[in-house]
Amino acid sequence: MPRSKGYRRKTRSLLTKKENRGLISFLHDYKVGEKVVIDINPSQVKGMPHRRYQGLVGTVEEVRRRSLVIKMPVGNKVKKVVARLEHIKPHL
C-alpha cells in the first residue's frame, strides 16, 4: 500500500495536545506590524497552517475578522500564511 501524502503526515508528536490552552489567543487584539508565533492547536482543524510553520515568528500583515495574514521569512523568501486566531500567540 502506498504511503499517504496528506496534510498532517508525520505529525504524531508535533500535533499532540501538550497543555490546556485558554482564551488568551482570542482576547488579544493583534495590530499590523506586531510579532506573532505560530503555535498550532491540534484540536482545531479549521484555519490550521502547515506544520512547517510550527514555532516560527512572523509579523502581522493584515487583520481579518477570524484570522490573520502573517509574513513569514522562510529562507531567502517571504511567504504569506493565513491562520486563524486559535493557532497564533503573541511573541514575547
Query: pTM above the 0.75 mark?
Result: yes
SS3 49: coil
Query: Which three cell numbers, joined as nine digits, stand for 55?
Result: 514555532
Q: Where are the domains of the chain?
A: 24-90
40-60 pLDDT, tens digit each: 888 888 889 998 999 999 999
Compute the CA torsion angle 72, 74, 44, 21 (nearest 10 deg).
Answer: -70
What is the Cα Rg of the chain in Å? 14
19-35 pLDDT, tens digit each: 766 677 678 899 999 99
Which of 19, 74, 75, 85 lies closest to 49, judged by CA?
Answer: 85
- In this prediction, residue 72 carries a pLDDT of 94
Q: Domain 24-90 sits in which CATH superfamily?
A: Ribosomal protein L21 (2.30.30.70)
